[in-house]
């Protein structure tokens, strides 16, 4: 499968007279999980929404040389609470709504149940979405995106409601997914240690600008973290692995 | 990719159970139609009614055929068609507004129809059209006008459910006020006619009204069926639906026009019949969930069942059939709604 490129060129988003994003440019290739990090209000969600074609912007976002098509992009917005009386399996099936007929085919059900199994959610298949926890709903909605088999996955804090074990499972699954489908996963991550250990590349956003794009150990430097997050940290190095970020205690004023 | 065949069987079993629920609703609906046909001031055994229905409008005993085919059947069929229109419109309204309290009348359509009817009852005599046509045409036209006003406001202000509801409530109060003004100005005889229309009664039904309402419903059907999956996806929320490639604004606008047409067709001939469009979708969703492949037909059938039951009940408690079904559905609808909410709450917990 040929490598595709997501090219973002001078992306700008302006709302209510204020610049939310300005001059964001980068180029990303398939086969990797790219984490978008930055403090609250930095512009991560705006960037992901613009890349997915869900909000207006100036500049250019090109996916494999052309403007992205909905079918090839799997976008998961922030905080998607579901209150519908639909089972988890039905919800995943809705990810393929364009191809579903009056009678849902055996292969489509198998595909949806297969994705649920991959995310270890088989036991929830017949449970109503309203009875699931926030984290379980988030996983089902991620399964709904994956069942579409998009080449570009844009996930806005898709792991925010998950415990650490599930966050790691999802990231490992995404790493397998991008390699198997030669896809690109672009996802906002809040937990810097998770981002450090599991992302292939990081994009650091601060005040609506792209500050740094590189391998995690280069982006998450003590200086960058202090500048963007206003936080002093120690980077604890480990033999054969990426460093671990240890925040330093702040003095109580 | 690993998958468990038990889930495939489970999904098929769930779909089968839902199909059974729809089959049972269909049988109940047909049984209620037959029962409704057998009740009337002249009395008639059930078997004679079935014979008269099977024999057709021109065969057999002329008196029986006339009673069944020209007096009772238009009312019974109208109950089914109007109930179906309101059931579908109610479900669509609850879906596009993401609001379980929504009904076909939430956005002021009933008030507009009532104003149109009141206007025609007061001034329609001056028009060169028969009275039985002027009122439905005026009610239909005003409902469509209300739809156009809400549509225009939403287009200008934003296509969110909140804006839609606020604009609809504005239109509701506008037409209610105009309706009250006409009632205030009307003579006692005209006022009585207006109030009777507003109650909603199947006594106004005839084959022409059945044909017109059915044709409008049939014309809307392909569009409703086309959007079945999209409406189900919309239940996941606007952001989710948009991210799954659905043009939420366009879907909401299209559904809104269909709701207006279905509601206008339903209320034009029989007046405003409340609670059917609110209760029927809740009953359907409680039985088959929110997959609109099942919820739309079942909501239609539940609407028909509720209205046909109201017609039967009205005839039983008042043999002359003078109690309008609109009053019965409104009175019976409240405890029914509480029962459905209670059942859903128990099931989800």
Rounded CA separation B146/B111 (Å): 9
**Nearest residue, CB atoms, B230 vs list A90, A97, A106:** A97
Report chain B residues whose CB lies below 8 A from the CB of A148: 244
Confidence of residue B321 (pLDDT cuts 50, 70, 90): low
Rounded CA separation A211/A38 (Å): 9
pLDDT reading at A71 higher than 60: no
Average pLDDT over residues B129-140: 84
Average pLDDT over residues B224-241: 94
Average pLDDT over residues B13-33: 96
Nearest-Cα residue of chain A relative to residue B289: A85
Rounded CA separation A176/A190 (Å): 21
Contact A195, A37 (CB under 8 A): yes
Report chain A residues whose CB lies below 8 A from the CB of B240: 77, 80, 82, 141
pLDDT in tens, B249-284: 899 989 989 999 999 889 888 888 888 999 999 999
Q: What is the average pLDDT score of chain A?
A: 90
Contact B76, B36 (CB under 8 A): yes
- Cβ-defined contact of A89 to B11 (cutoff 8 Å): yes
**Nearest residue, CB atoms, B4 vs list A80, A84, A122:** A122
Nearest-Cα residue of chain B relative to residue A95: B244
**Nearest residue, CB atoms, B236 vs list A84, A87, A122:** A84
pLDDT at position B42: 78
Nearest-Cα residue of chain B relative to residue A153: B243
pLDDT reading at A172 higher than 60: yes
- In A50-183, at which residue ranges do the beta strands (DSSP E only) sit? 58-63, 73-76, 152-155
Count other C-beta atoms under 10 Å from residue B296's C-beta: 25
B169 contacts: CB under 8 Å, gap ≥ 6: B107, B108
pLDDT in tens, A178-234: 999 999 999 999 999 999 999 999 999 999 999 999 999 999 999 999 999 988 999
Chain A interface includes B100 (CB < 8 A): no
Longest dimension (CA), chain A: 65
Higher pLDDT, A161 or A92: A92
Count Cα neighbours of B191 within 13 Å in the Cβ-side half-sphere: 9
> What's the CA angle centered on A110, arms A108 and A113, to 5 degrees?
110
pLDDT reading at A66 higher than 80: no
**Nearest residue, CB atoms, A82 vs list B11, B236, B243:** B236
Query: Residue B143 forms beta bridges with which residues?
Result: none
Rounded CA separation A81/B156 (Å): 28
In the three-class reduction of DSSP (H, G, I as helix; E, B as strand; rest coil), residue A64 is classed as: coil
Q: What does CATH list as the number for B14-348?
A: 1.10.3470.10
* Residue B60 CA: distances (Å) to CA of A71, B38, B51, B52, B53: 62, 17, 9, 7, 10
Residues 223-282 of B with CB under 8 A from A: 229-230, 232-233, 235-237, 239-240, 242-246
- In A54-199, at which residue ranges do the beta strands (DSSP E only) sit? 58-63, 73-76, 152-155, 184-188
pLDDT reading at A69 higher than 60: no
State the smallest CA–CA distance between residue B262 and chain A in angstroms: 23
Residues 70-89 of A with CB under 8 A from B: 70-71, 75-77, 80-82, 84-87, 89
- Cβ-defined contact of B237 to A82 (cutoff 8 Å): yes
Confidence of residue A252 (pLDDT cuts 50, 70, 90): low
In the three-class reduction of DSSP (H, G, I as helix; E, B as strand; rest coil), residue A153 is classed as: strand
Count other C-beta atoms under 10 Å from residue B63's C-beta: 10
Rounded CA separation B100/B285 (Å): 11
Mutate to test the interface with B, among A97, A98, A118, A140 (most CBs of B within 10 A): A97
ipTM: 0.87
Structural domains in chain A, CATH included, are: 5-80+148-247 (3.40.50.300)
Domain boundaries, chain B: 14-348
């Amino acid at each position: 499968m040929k490598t595709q490129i997501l090219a973002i060129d001078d992306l700008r988003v302006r709302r209510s007279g204020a610049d939310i994003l300005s001059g964001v440019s980068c180029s990303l290739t398939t086969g990797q999980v790219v984490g978008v990090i930055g403090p609250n209000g930095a512009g991560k969600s705006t960037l992901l929404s613009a890349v997915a074609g869900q909000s207006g912007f100036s500049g250019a976002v090109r996916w494999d040389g052309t403007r992205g098509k909905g079918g090839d992009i799997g976008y998961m917005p922030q905080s998607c609470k579901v209150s519908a009386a639909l089972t988890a399996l039905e919800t995943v099936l809705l990810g393929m709504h364009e191809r579903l007929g009056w009678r849902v085919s055996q292969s489509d059900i198998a595909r949806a149940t297969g994705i649920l199994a991959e995310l270890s959610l088989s036991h929830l298949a017949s449970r109503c979405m309203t009875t699931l926890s926030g984290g379980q709903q988030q996983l089902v909605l991620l399964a709904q995106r994956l069942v579409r088999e998009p080449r570009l996955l844009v996930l806005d804090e898709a792991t925010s409601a998950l415990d650490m074990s599930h966050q790691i499972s999802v990231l490992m699954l995404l790493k397998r997914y991008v390699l198997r489908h030669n896809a690109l996963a672009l996802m906002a991550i809040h937990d810097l240690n998770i981002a450090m250990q599991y992302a292939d590349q990081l994009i650091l956003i601060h005040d609506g600008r792209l500050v740094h794009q590189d391998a995690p150990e280069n982006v998450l430097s003590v200086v960058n973290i202090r500048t963007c997050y206003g936080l002093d940290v120690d980077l604890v190095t480990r033999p054969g692995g990426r460093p671990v970020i240890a925040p330093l205690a702040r003095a109580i004023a | 990719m690993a998958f468990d065949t038990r889930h495939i069987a489970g999904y098929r079993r769930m779909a089968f159970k839902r199909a059974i629920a729809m089959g049972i609703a269909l049988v109940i609906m047909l049984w209620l139609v037959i029962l409704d046909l057998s009740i009337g001031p002249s009395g008639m055994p059930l078997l004679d009614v079935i014979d008269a229905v099977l024999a057709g409008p021109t065969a057999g005993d002329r008196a029986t055929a006339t009673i069944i085919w020209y007096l009772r059947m238009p009312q019974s069929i109208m109950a089914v068609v109007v109930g179906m229109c309101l059931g579908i419109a109610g479900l669509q309204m609850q879906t596009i507004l993401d609001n379980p309290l929504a009904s076909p009348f939430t956005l002021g359509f009933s008030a507009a129809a009532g104003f149109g009817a009141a206007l025609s009852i007061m001034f329609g005599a001056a028009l060169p059209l028969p009275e039985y046509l002027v009122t439905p045409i005026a009610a239909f036209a005003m409902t469509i006008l209300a739809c156009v006003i809400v549509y225009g406001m939403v287009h200008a202000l934003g296509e969110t459910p909140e804006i839609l509801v606020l604009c609809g409530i504005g239109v509701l109060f506008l037409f209610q006020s105009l309706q009250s003004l006409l009632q205030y100005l009307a003579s006692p005889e005209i006022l009585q006619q207006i109030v009777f229309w507003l109650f909603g009664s199947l006594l106004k039904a005839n084959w022409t009204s059945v044909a017109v309402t059915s044709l409008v419903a049939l014309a809307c059907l392909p569009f409703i069926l086309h959007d079945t999956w999209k409406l189900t996806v919309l239940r996941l929320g606007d952001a989710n639906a948009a991210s799954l490639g659905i043009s939420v604004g366009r879907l909401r606008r299209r559904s809104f026009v269909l709701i207006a047409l279905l509601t206008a067709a339903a209320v034009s001939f029989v007046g405003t019949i409340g609670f059917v469009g609110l209760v029927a979708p809740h009953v359907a969703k409680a039985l088959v969930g929110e997959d609109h492949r099942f919820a739309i037909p079942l909501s239609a059938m539940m609407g028909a069942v509720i209205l046909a039951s109201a017609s039967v009940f009205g005839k039983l408690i008042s043999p002359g059939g003078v109690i309008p079904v609109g009053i019965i559905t409104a009175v019976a609808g409240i405890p029914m709604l509480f029962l459905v909410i209670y059942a859903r709450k128990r099931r989800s917990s």
